[in-house]
């Protein structure tokens, strides 16, 4: 059994009268693609916010790469090796693709301090070379000079992946990477994630079942704030509780 990279223990969160998360135990092992699925309103986004550090739990803890990160802010978790992409495209639309990724490279601890007030960034060739390398990984190197806001939707999602990769993460947290994509774009994104999965652990939150069952090594199902099942895609597909709660009896 590979070691646990991300471990969530007894995580609970209440919003007013709603139990958004009920004592969730969850674990992503190093090297796997772990998909989190669940019907709308199941608490997936809330869960992701607790993992990434945007929200703090009422009780329970989050452990990442061998240490507890429950009290850490989002940027500290990123530095610890947890990169994320957003459900809604979230980048710097006015900047070139290269500048977008260069910002991600610059933010890394091993890239040195950003409290530098004098030396022009454009002289830091190494940073831009590295950024170009990440654009290559997602197939956008030819458009490196384009303005990010002018890219097609699917390309923007790919650019976000390049930015996440540029933080050199131990784990990629992908929040609905296929959201809003057409069938062709989705197919390309699946290929891209498959390719990335060889180098990095991935926690994937996704609605697109074709993509989930093709990509995931393991699948966890969240329903009404509780994790009802974790297992291989086939096991999850066969699980009666999952069929009832999520896929529908006839699925």
- Quick note: the x/- pattern for other proteins over 52-91, rule CB under 8 A, is x--------------------xxxx-xx---xx-x---xx
Q: Which two tokens stand for residue 103?
A: 């910002």
What CA–CA distances, in Å, run from 15 to 9, 42, 53, 155? 19, 14, 17, 36
What CA–CA distances, in Å, run from 154 to 5, 139, 179? 29, 12, 10
| From 1, 67, 122, 249, residue interacting with other proteins (rule: CB under 8 A) | 122
Please say which residue, 100 or 220, places its beta carbon nearer to other proteins.
100
Cα angle vertex 98, ends 154, 134, to 5°? Answer: 70
Nearest to 37 by CA among 178, 187, 132, 143: 178
Based on the shown chain and the rule CB under 8 A, indicate whether residue 211 belongs to the binding site for other proteins: no
At its nearest, how many Å lie between other proteins and the CB of residue 173?
10
Please say which residue, 120 or 240, places its beta carbon nearer to other proteins.
120
DSSP string, 161-215: HHHHHHT--SEEEEE-TTTT--HHHHHHHHHHHHHHTTTSEEEEE-S-HHHHHHH
Q: How many residues bind other proteins (CB under 8 A)?
A: 36
Please say which residue, 59 or 76, places its beta carbon nearer to other proteins.
76
Q: Is the dihedral of CA 195, 201, 205, 210 positive or negative?
A: positive
Please say which residue, 111 or 193, places its beta carbon nearer to other proteins.
111
Based on the shown chain and the rule CB under 8 A, indicate whether residue 103 belongs to the binding site for other proteins: yes
Q: Name the segment binding other proteins (CB under 8 A); options: 22-30, 95-103, 134-142, 234-242.
A: 95-103
Please say which residue, 147 or 230, places its beta carbon nearer to other proteins.
147
| From 11, 163, 189, 202, residue interacting with other proteins (rule: CB under 8 A) | 163
- Cα–Cα distance for residue pair 193/211, rounded to 1 Å: 10
Mutual angle of helices 183-196 and 153-166, in 10-degree steps: 10
At its nearest, how many Å lie between other proteins and the CB of residue 69?
13
Q: Which two tokens stand for residue 91?
A: 């980048």
At its nearest, how many Å lie between other proteins and the CB of residue 71?
15
Element (H, E) at 16: none
| From 116, 142, 153, 195, residue interacting with other proteins (rule: CB under 8 A) | 116
Based on the shown chain and the rule CB under 8 A, indicate whether residue 106 belongs to the binding site for other proteins: yes
| Residues near other proteins, by CB under 8 A | 52, 73-76, 78-79, 83-84, 86, 90-92, 94-96, 99, 103-104, 106-109, 113-122, 147, 163, 167
């Amino acid at each position: 059994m590979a070691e646990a990279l991300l471990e969530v223990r007894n995580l609970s969160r209440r919003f007013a009268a709603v139990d958004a998360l009920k004592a969730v135990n969850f674990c992503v092992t190093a090297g796997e693609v772990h998909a989190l699925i669940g019907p709308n309103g199941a608490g997936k986004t809330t869960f992701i916010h607790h993992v990434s550090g945007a929200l703090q739990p009422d009780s329970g803890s989050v452990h990442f790469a061998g240490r507890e990160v429950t009290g850490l802010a989002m940027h500290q978790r990123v530095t610890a090796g947890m990169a994320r992409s957003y459900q809604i495209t979230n980048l710097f639309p006015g900047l070139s693709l290269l500048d977008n990724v260069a910002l991600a490279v610059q933010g890394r601890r091993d890239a040195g301090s950003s409290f530098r007030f004098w030396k022009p960034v454009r002289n830091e060739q190494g940073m831009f070379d590295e950024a170009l390398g990440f654009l290559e990984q997602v197939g956008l190197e030819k458009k490196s000079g384009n303005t990010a806001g002018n890219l097609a939707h699917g390309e923007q999602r790919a650019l976000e992946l390049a930015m996440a990769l540029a933080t050199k993460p131990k784990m990629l947290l992908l929040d609905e990477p296929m959201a809003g994509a057409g069938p062709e774009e989705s197919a390309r994104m699946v290929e891209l994630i498959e390719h990335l999965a060889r180098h990095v652990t991935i926690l994937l939150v996704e609605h697109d079942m074709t993509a989930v069952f093709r990509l995931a090594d393991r699948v966890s199902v969240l329903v009404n704030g509780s994790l009802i099942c974790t297992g291989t895609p086939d096991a999850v597909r066969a699980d009666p509780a999952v069929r009832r709660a999520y896929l529908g009896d006839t699925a």
